[in-house]
Structures are given as C-alpha cells and as structure tokens.
Amino acid sequence: MRKLLLPLSAVVLVMGARDLHAQSRSISGRVVGSDGAKLPGVTVLVKGTSLGTATDVEGRYTLPAPAGATTLVFSFVGYTSQEARIGDGPVNITLEASTTSLDEAVVVGYGTQSRRDLTGSVATITGKEISNTPVQSFDQALQGRASGVSITTPNGVLNNPPVIRIRGANSIALSSSPLFVIDGIPTYSGNNSAVGSVPNNPLANIAPEDIENIEVLKDASATAIYGSRANGGVILVTTRRGKKGQARLSYDTWVGISKPIRLFDMLNAPEYVNIKNEAVRNLNANRLAATGTVGTNAQGFNLADAAGNAYDTRWYDYIYRTGVSQSHNLNFSGGTDKTTYLTSVGYTKQKGMLVRNDFRRFSVRANVEHKLFDRLTVGARVNYANSLNSSPNSGSVGDGAFGTAGLGRLPLVLPPNISPYNPDGTYNTNGAGLGAGPNINPTSTTGAALLPGYYNPVVDLDNNYFTSESNSLQGALYADLEVIKGLHLRTQYGIDNLNFEDKAYYTSLAGDGFSLGGQAIDYFRTNKRWNWQNTAQYDRSFGEHNLSLLAGNEQQYTEVQRWGANRTGVADPFFTTYQGNYLNIAAAGNSQGASYLASFFGRFTYNYAHKYLFTATGRRDGYSAWAQKFGNFYGLSAGYIVSEEGFWKNAGFAKAFDYLKVSGSFGTTGNNQGIYDFVSLPLYGSFLYGNSGTFYYTQGANQNITWEKSKKTDASIAFGFLDSRLTGDVTYYHNLVDGLILDVPQAPSRGIPGNSIPANVGSMRNRGFEFNLRYNVLQDKAFTWTVSGNLTTLNNEVLALLDDTQRIAGATSGLETANYTTVGRSIGSILAVPNAGVNPANGQRMLVRADGTRVQYNHLGTSGTGWTIVNADGSTGANTTSPTQLADGVYYGPVLPTWYGGFDNNFRYKGFDLGVFIQFSGGNYIYNGTKSGLHDQRFWNNSTDILNRWTEDNKNAEWPRVVFNDNVSNGSTIIMSQNVEKGDFARLRNVALGYTIPSKALSKLKLSSVRVYVQAQNLALVTKYSGIDPEISVNGGSNLAPGVDRNSVGQARTYTAGLNVSF
C-alpha cells in the first residue's frame, strides 16, 4: 500500500522542481534499494532548502543544486532516510528498507493511514518476515511477530490451522479467531475439511510470497469499522503489486527437510515384557490379598512366540520420516505511469514428518491497476489456487485423540514385542486390529491371545488415504473516481469462491474399514461469497486542520453447501477410489447454510498539525441469522504527539528523545463467527426410520440471541529515542466481552437437542500490556544489527456465566473432560484431583479429597472399589469410594499463556545477513493427558521412566507399583494433578543465514540481485514441559477445552536452503 503514496510525492516534487532557479551545478546519481533493485520516486532534497526532485523509473535523478549546497537528503516511504555529501561525481546511494518507520502507510479498514497519525492499535508484519518460511499458510508464520497476537501451532500435521487469539480468548462458545480480510474482501479461515484426519485451512490458498504486508487491527478504534465481525480482531492481508519502473522478474525457491523431535523414549521389548509380567504378578498378589484365593492370571508377556519369532519394534520408525519439501515462486511485475501489474506463479510441495502427510499448492495471481482517466482508476486482483493436503489419521485433528488408528497414539500404546509384519511378510493383523504376537491375555481363563485392539499402523499407512483438495478463486474488481479534489468514490465487487473435495478411503484388510468391508467417502463443499463495497472518502486540509471522512456501504452474501456419500463393502480390493464399485451407499455430510450481512459505516479522522489526533468510527450491521437484524458498533480514539510541540522540538533533549505520542481509544465490536446461520428459526429436521422418512424437532425459535459485544479500551504511549534508532510503545488494553453466547447447558433430562440452547449470558474480561521495542544497535555501513522484541501479558477472567455456580465442561474428543469454565477463573481451567504422590509404604497412588483426606488406589486389591484411606502414618485405613473430579478437583489455570512474545535479532555484514528469531510463551498450565497413557498399566507400552516404579527395593519411586490393567493410578480414569504441568517455553523458531551476492558480480549476468540462504525452523526448545511439545492443542481453537495434550504429534524441525533471484 505504501506504493500508492508514490505518485503523489513524485508529482508534488516534480512541480516544485519546475520553480528552481537555474543558477547552479547539476548533480545526478542513482538510488537503489538494499536488495539492489532500482528505486523510482525517491525524494531527493538539497538539505536546508525546498529544492528537490524525484528519481525516475530507473532510479536516476538529476538535480540543479545551489553553489553552497553540501548535502543531499534521500527519503522514500518505507525506507530509512539517508543523507549524502555532495562530492565531485555522481551521488549514488543505497536506501535501507525500514520495517516500522513512523511514517509508513498503514492499511486500516477500507483505507490507509500514516502510522504517525494513527490512534488505533495496529501491528504490521511485512511480507518479508514471513516469506521463505516452510509453512503452508501465512498465518502459521506469525508466531511471536506482533504483540497481542498469540498463535499456537496445535500439532505438526501439515496445513492445520493455527490457533490465533488476539489479546486473549474473546469468546466461549463461538470462534475467537480474528476476521481475515484479503485485499479488502473478508475470507474463510479455520478447518474446512469434512474428513477428520486431514485438515484444510483455506488461508493456505494464498502463497506467502505474494504477501506485501499483514496488519493486525487490535483495539476498538481500528476494528470498529468491521463492526460485528471484529471481536477477535481483524487481520488485513495486502498482496503485492507491481511498481512503476522496468519490468522485473523474480524467482524464489527453497528446499527443505522436516524431522520429528522430542519423541518419547518407550520401553523396548525386554523392558516391556518385564514390566508387564511384573504387573501381572502384582495383580495376582492383589487378588490373593483381596479374595483369599490365589490369582491365576498368566504372566503372558513373552519375548518370542512359540515358533521362536522375536521382535523389538520401534513403532515410531514406521510412522515418522524425514520429509523433503520444496517451493518455487516466480513473479513478473512492473508498471508505467498509467498501469502497474504483478503476476506470480507459485508451486510448493511439502512432505511432513508423518508418513503420507503431504501438502502441495499451485497458485496464480494477477494484480493490475490502470489509470483509465485522470481521475478514474480501475483495478483487479485475482488469485487462483489449487491445494491438496493429504494426511494419515494422526489423531491430532478432528476429535481423533482417542482413536484406535491415531498415529500420535499408536507408537505409545502398541507393544514393542509385536511386529507389524508376519514372518512371511504379510501384515500382522487379527480382525481389524494388530495381531497378538507372543502375548497371552493374562486375564483369560482359556489362554487366549492378548489382542491389542489397536490397529496396525502399517496397514493404514500403506492403504488408507485422507485428502482434502481445494480450488480457490478470489478476486475483486474496483474503480476509484476522484470527483473533486480529495473526494474519492470507490466501488469494489469481489468474489471468494472456494470448493473442496474431501476424500477418505479405508481398506477392508484391517483397521476402521475392516468391519465395513472397505469404505470410501467423498464430500464436495462449495463456499460462495460475494462482497460489494461502496465508499466515499474525502480528505482535506485547511491550514493545520487535516480531516478525512469516510462513508460506506458493504453487503456480503455467503452460501455454504456440502454433499457427499459413504460407500461401504468394496466389491473387490482392486477398487481404491470412491468411483469404484461397492455394495452399499448412504448419503453423508449433507449441509447447507446461507448468511447475509448488510452494513453502513463511517469514519471521521481529524488532526491539528499532526499533533492532536482524533478518530471516530461507526458501523451499523444487519445480519440474517438474528431475529432482530440490526446492531450498532462504534469506536472513538484520540492521540497527542507531544514531541510535535514547539517546546519539545526546541528542548535540549529533543535529539535524544525525539518522539512521544500518547493515545487512547474506546469502542464496541461484535462477534458472530461460528453462530449457526439459522439460529433464530424454529426448525424440524428430517431423517429416516428404516425406510420411512421422518421429521423431528431440532430447535426452538431463539428470538433474543444477538451478537456478542466487546467493549474495548486502550491506552498507549509510543516513543522514539536517539533519532528514532530506538522506538517502541507500551499499550494497556482492557477488553470486556459482554453478552457472550453460551450454549447454556440444559439438564439432559429435558431432552433438548444437543442438550444446550445458545443465549447471550456470559461476560469475560481480557486485559494486559503490550510492549514493543526496536533498536538499531549498529548502523555501520558494513555492519548493521537490529534488535526487536515484543511482549504481551494477558489476564483473562470469566466474569459471568448463566449463574455463579455454573461449570461449563470442555471435553477432549467427547471422552475426557479436563477443562471447566467457571466464574472468577480464567477460561477453560483444568480441574484435577490433587496428587499426593506414591505411598512409599505400599507403592499406591495417593490423591487428596476435598476434605483433605488422603486416599490411595490398589487395583483389584480390596473387596471394594480398590480405594482406601491413608492414615497419617502412611498405613492403610478403611475402604472408601473413589475420589471424583467434580467433588475433589482443584482448579489449575490459566491454560492460556499469560505472557508471550518474540525476540528478533537481525545482523547484516556486507553481503551476509543473519536473522535469529525466538518465540516465547508461558504462565499457562497444560493438561498432559498423553502422560497418563504413557503410564497406563493395561497392555499399553510405557515410557522408560516407568522403570522408576515402586518396588520393594525402590520405595521412593516416581511411579506407583505396577498392577496389570490398572488404568486408574496414573490418570486415565480420573483427571489428576500428576498430569498437569506448566507450559512455559522459549523456542528458537527461526534462524536464517543469507548471503547477497554483490551487485558488481551480478551485472555481467544481467541479474539485479541474488540471495542464497539456509534456514532452520524450531531448532531448539527450552521448556520444563515433559510432553512432546508445550505449544499444543489437541482441541484446536476450542475455547472451552484449550491447553490439552492428548496423543498429539508434536512439531517438526525443518531445515531449508533457498535462493532469491531477480532479473
């Protein structure tokens, strides 16, 4: 967007140049950017005068300078201004791009503003910071890049949408995700795939290399213009455009490899057999003690089967791999006085660390703008992308945490003494599951084999597939007419059409498809949207009074449809696609939705001498889902640039402390993201009873439900020291979300469909500070060093729910409820029964009741429940009942990080550049459910720390005495604090070392710039968290069940090497 300002400054200065007195010598030269590209439109001024000019399309300038002139000043929006002494020859200069210059243009809703005049809270991330990163969608690369923006990568599956929370969780039942706007058109985000195993984030249809800038709108002043959709903040993406000047061809490429890290150390076969047989012996001892009869459970775990086949399988080896990825982006851009254009073609193919987790995208973009008449500009932006994501069942997305096919879980559960293959090379299966190998079921009375029930992952990986392919066409056509000077009428019509074909295939050999005789499911989904915006913008200055007025109308209609079918009973294993032949077919996944938003909005900005700043914004939205259609939203803000005052400018400290601005804002926004399109209508659904059609009640008329409303308050101080070498800001934010829509739980005995009714009943507050600091430590010509960092604090508290006693449960995959949301606590806090460790006297797990009583568990070790009271001296007391989470649990929270941020170091020495980026986060608790599984005493494998279990010889042990089939002591049955851990971490997210080949060497090759680099992602992680990754969320963006780690796969480490070439 900063390029839009270019023609203006050039025109002004060229006109100024006409008045020059032709009395002096002529100075000429050439201006290039730090990447070696020529820079047209750079302002060149003779210092201390108003004499100046602008560079031409080749970056050249010629300037008649007065005899006494000694210095030239070069300035250009988006670049650091530079001075140069006038010598004898041409004055050639290289300008450094500045990323957060105070004067850069900032994209705001329906327009731009200069950062200096801005009173709202807007963070800018340049495309440069995120391009060349091995991600599938740009939002995955935003971690730690902007204050106030918390981004969690929920797992290591490709194209999984990151969880984005701007200034905390802004909703409970709806989505807290920000609104994404691409070049002015709101787009789709979140997982749109119908197949649980494979995620599909529509934002992956934008090639990161096509992005010029990303702005994050955070406070009410900045977001109110988006009104009812802005509670979670707004992320504006501006794609790259052509620049005036000679045509330019660039090619960016990288190749990389991804590997898993921090995998758990699991027991090998001999250790497994020992531990499990010990558990059986302990079970027998328990049975004898409890019933007086000798337990007859067999020590059925064996290293080799009767035929002598012995295996020591590391299941990880079949599931993880080193994935090779590549990316290519070719773009061609340029422009004349009238027309600018940019076209780009991109291709990326990425292979994840999980076998069969592959992503590829093919994208084409064309951005064109043409000045039709003097006052009429027309333009178009079109992006087409085809992306295909395939993933095995990782158990990490789509409620799959407890699936018997989940690849996050299988290597933790499956016995190491079983091989995935039979000795003859065939798959080792029994029915749907993995074969028993040498293990005999200890509790069987007939010596039956111990069938794991879990699937053989090799069968699934070899035969099943899950894919989500999308075709995205995003485009907009716009026209801008300057009716009178300063008054722009603009109309923009955009479409955002996206379709998905989601496929699942399950072999009949084993696994999920076994009992179905093989299965193929195909879904087709279309998202269709049109968006029409009409705005009138008037900018005018009267003396020192600068004002800007915007009025507009926006309409948006969105229709989502999906249909599909499920075919089972494959006629022959030859058929591996949906189109093959099957015995049965049933409809699957049909759905339909439509919504319409009609809006009127306005913005008034005023400043006096760029010193006193004021902005008022209002929006009136009408939304089809509500019974009462319309709602109003507004934002007010004011700022004062103290350093613009005369007293400041003339003060002695002005050189050292050159910039100070205070600003504040207040306003309201709304949220409807995730609400059902027809939530206010009384409806009946239809299904089948055998072969007859049915109608049944699905929901009552919900007349009162409306937007969740946020009251956002901001206060900010921005400063610049040492000629703005050190800049920064501190912001306090306070966001009160009222009228939270809660799926108010209904007593299941009422029989309300879904056992809940949405209503605007809750209230929640997020508050905290944001700090940004940027320091150009060294600005030597040869060596530069820039440090920047940001830190955000967050205090989240639920203020009101239906009533003060309400506890809203958040379940993981519908099976395990660790999180409860209650009044007075942070959202989704973990409720766990306190752990009192292992009783040294008998090796039993001890938990603490709400009344302080310690109780201990001995699996099948008493005639009752197995629970007994622990006397003060550690001896065993009376039989008792099991402690329960609801009665005895203690809250651990918050589960959202209370502090997070990023720390970026950029070094440049001659042609070399080095970037070191650290992301950090903490203050939160994680429910590490995986840990309970890792120590479960069913036949499941355990992590090696189980070797430190209680035995007669090891009484001060970390883990309880192992008893076969005990799934209570380590947390699989009762949520216990043993598995609640702090989630603090610092991650070396990105290290990039590049070398830009000197332009002298290139000119012979007709190249304008070449940079080669190597890069490592996720190179190091510092954390005390014992799970696979502290940045994890098995429930994705769920607000009610965040911070849960259950059988998920962690993040990969990726190394890439790349090349950027321009011709």
Partner 1 sequence: MTYSFRKRVAAMACTALLGLGTFSCQNDLLNVKPVTLLDANLAFDTPSRVLAQVNGLYSYVKVGGFLGGRYQIYGDIRANDFINRTSNSVTGLAVWNHTLAETSANDVVSVWGNAYAAINQVNIFLAGLDANADKFKTSTFTSVYPNGFEPTAINYRAEARLLRALCYYSLLQLYARPYIDGNGSRPGLPLRLAAETGLGNNNLARSTVAQVYDQILLDLNFAEQNLPLRYSATQGGAAVSTLNVTRAHRNTAIALKSRVYLTMGRYADVVTEANKLVPTAAPYVTTAGVANGLNSSITAVFTAPQETSESILAFPFSAQDPPGTQNQLAFYYLPASLGGGGEYGLNTATGGIYASTAFLSTDVRRTSFIAPVTTVTNGVSRTEYFLSKYPTGSPFTDKAPVIRYSEVMLSLAEALARNTNTVDSRALALLNAVRMRSNPAIAASGTTPAIPSPMFVATDFASVNAFIDAILLERRIEFLGEGIRNIDLMRLTATIPAKGTVSAIPSTAANYVWPIPSTELSTNNAMTRN
Sketch the per residue contact string, 451 through 470, with partner 1: x for CB under 8 A, - otherwise: x-x-----------------
Q: Of the candidates 542, 690, 852, 1004, which one interacts with partner 1 according to CB under 8 A? A: 690
Q: Of the candidates 421, 524, 614, 678, which one interacts with partner 1 according to CB under 8 A? A: 678
Contact 326, 348 (CB under 8 A): yes
Applying CB under 8 A, does 447 fall inside the site for partner 1? yes
Closer CB to partner 1, residue 514 or residue 707? 514
Least separation in angstroms between CB 175 and partner 1: 21
Q: Could you give the count of Cα atoms lying within 13 Å of 117 in the half-sphere of its Cβ?
A: 21
**Closest to 985 (Cα-Cα) out of 1028, 1022, 1033:** 1022
DSSP string for 548-583: EEEEEEEEEEEEEEEEEEEEEEESSTT--STTS-EE
Q: Residue 542 contacts by C-beta under 8 Å, 6 or more apart in sequence?
A: none
Q: Are strands 465-484 and 433-434 parallel, antiparallel or unpaired?
A: unpaired
Phi, psi of 1009 (to 5 degrees): -160, 150
Applying CB under 8 A, does 686 fall inside the site for partner 1? yes
Token pair recorded at residue 470: 């999308």
Q: Of the candidates 103, 271, 305, 462, which one interacts with partner 1 according to CB under 8 A? A: 305
Least separation in angstroms between CB 507 and partner 1: 14
Q: Of the candidates 117, 219, 677, 966, which one interacts with partner 1 according to CB under 8 A? A: 677
Site for partner 1 in 192-211 (CB under 8 A): none
CA distances from 859 to 442, 845, 856 (A): 15, 10, 10
Q: Of the candidates 181, 498, 848, 860, which one interacts with partner 1 according to CB under 8 A? A: 860
Site for partner 1 in 814-853 (CB under 8 A): 814-815, 817
Applying CB under 8 A, does 869 fall inside the site for partner 1? no
**Closest to 707 (Cα-Cα) out of 730, 741, 735:** 741
Kindly compute the dihedral angle of the four CA atoms of residues 176, 178, 179, 184, in this order, to the nearest 10 degrees. Answer: 170
Applying CB under 8 A, does 697 fall inside the site for partner 1? yes
Residue span binding partner 1 (CB under 8 A) among the ranges 48-56, 239-247, 250-258, 674-682: 674-682
Site for partner 1 in 390-409 (CB under 8 A): 402, 404
Sketch the per residue contact string, 158 through 177, with partner 1: x for CB under 8 A, - otherwise: --------------------
**Closest to 76 (Cα-Cα) out of 98, 107, 108, 48:** 98
Bridge partners of 341? 334, 368
Closer CB to partner 1, residue 755 or residue 784? 755
Least separation in angstroms between CB 25 and partner 1: 40
Applying CB under 8 A, does 724 fall inside the site for partner 1? no
Q: Of the candidates 485, 749, 781, 851, which one interacts with partner 1 according to CB under 8 A? A: 749
Token pair recorded at residue 33: 């950017």
Residue span binding partner 1 (CB under 8 A) among the ranges 529-537, 610-618, 785-793, 1034-1042: 529-537
Number of residues that bind partner 1 (CB under 8 A): 120
**Closest to 943 (Cα-Cα) out of 190, 416, 490:** 416
Q: How many residues does the chain have?
A: 1063
Applying CB under 8 A, does 682 fall inside the site for partner 1? yes
Residue span binding partner 1 (CB under 8 A) among the ranges 222-230, 233-241, 823-831, 879-887: 879-887
Site for partner 1 in 488-507 (CB under 8 A): 489, 491
**Closest to 1036 (Cα-Cα) out of 410, 160, 142:** 160
Least separation in angstroms between CB 875 and partner 1: 24
Least separation in angstroms between CB 302 and partner 1: 9
Site for partner 1 in 782-811 (CB under 8 A): 807, 809, 811
Q: Could you give the count of Cα atoms lying within 13 Å of 119 in the half-sphere of its Cβ?
A: 30
Closer CB to partner 1, residue 241 or residue 490? 490
Dist. CA 928–CA 966, nearest whole Å? 19
Token pair recorded at residue 850: 């709400």
DSSP type of residue 157 = S
Applying CB under 8 A, does 586 fall inside the site for partner 1? yes
Residue span binding partner 1 (CB under 8 A) among the ranges 175-183, 455-463, 553-561, 954-962: 553-561
Site for partner 1 in 67-106 (CB under 8 A): none
Sketch the per residue contact string, 339 through 368, with partner 1: x for CB under 8 A, - otherwise: ------------------------------
Contact 355, 258 (CB under 8 A): no
Residue span binding partner 1 (CB under 8 A) among the ranges 253-261, 639-647, 682-690, 1040-1048: 682-690
Sketch the per residue contact string, 982 through 1021, with partner 1: x for CB under 8 A, - otherwise: ----------------------------------------
Least separation in angstroms between CB 290 and partner 1: 8
Dist. CA 698–CA 678, nearest whole Å? 11
Kindly compute the dihedral angle of the four CA atoms of residues 217, 223, 225, 227, in this order, to the nearest 10 degrees. Answer: 140
Site for partner 1 in 609-628 (CB under 8 A): 622-624
Q: Which amino acid is at 538?
A: Y
Residue span binding partner 1 (CB under 8 A) among the ranges 186-194, 753-761, 790-798, 836-844: 753-761
**Closest to 432 (Cα-Cα) out of 513, 508, 510:** 510
Least separation in angstroms between CB 493 and partner 1: 10
Closer CB to partner 1, residue 448 or residue 609? 448
Q: Of the candidates 691, 873, 952, 956, which one interacts with partner 1 according to CB under 8 A? A: 691
Site for partner 1 in 945-984 (CB under 8 A): 965, 973
Applying CB under 8 A, does 685 fall inside the site for partner 1? yes
Closer CB to partner 1, residue 452 or residue 1030? 452
Residue span binding partner 1 (CB under 8 A) among the ranges 78-86, 217-225, 271-279, 299-307: 299-307
Q: Assign residue 569 a region (left: φ > 0; alpha: ψ between -120 and 50; beta: otherwise).
A: left
Site for partner 1 in 403-442 (CB under 8 A): 404, 430-433, 435-436, 438
Site for partner 1 in 115-144 (CB under 8 A): none
Applying CB under 8 A, does 886 fall inside the site for partner 1? yes
Site for partner 1 in 555-574 (CB under 8 A): 555, 557, 568-569
Applying CB under 8 A, does 593 fall inside the site for partner 1? yes
**Furthest-apart CA atoms within the chain: distance in Å:** 116
**Closest to 928 (Cα-Cα) out of 821, 1050, 844, 814:** 1050
Least separation in angstroms between CB 479 and partner 1: 7
Q: Of the candidates 698, 784, 795, 999, which one interacts with partner 1 according to CB under 8 A? A: 698
Buried b vs exposed e over 673-690: b needs ≥16 C-beta within 10 Å? bebbbbbbeeeeeeeeee
Buried b vs exposed e over 847-885: b needs ≥16 C-beta within 10 Å? bbbeeeebbbbbbbbbeeebbbebeeeeebeeebebbeb
**Closest to 192 (Cα-Cα) out of 446, 501, 599, 494:** 501
Q: Of the candidates 18, 26, 89, 373, which one interacts with partner 1 according to CB under 8 A? A: 373
Applying CB under 8 A, does 694 fall inside the site for partner 1? yes
Q: Which amino acid is at 645?
A: E
Applying CB under 8 A, does 881 fall inside the site for partner 1? yes
3 state SS for 212-241: EEEEEECCHHHHHHHHHHCCCCEEEEEECC
Neighbours of 397 (CB within 10 A): 30
Applying CB under 8 A, does 479 fall inside the site for partner 1? yes
Least separation in angstroms between CB 496 and partner 1: 17
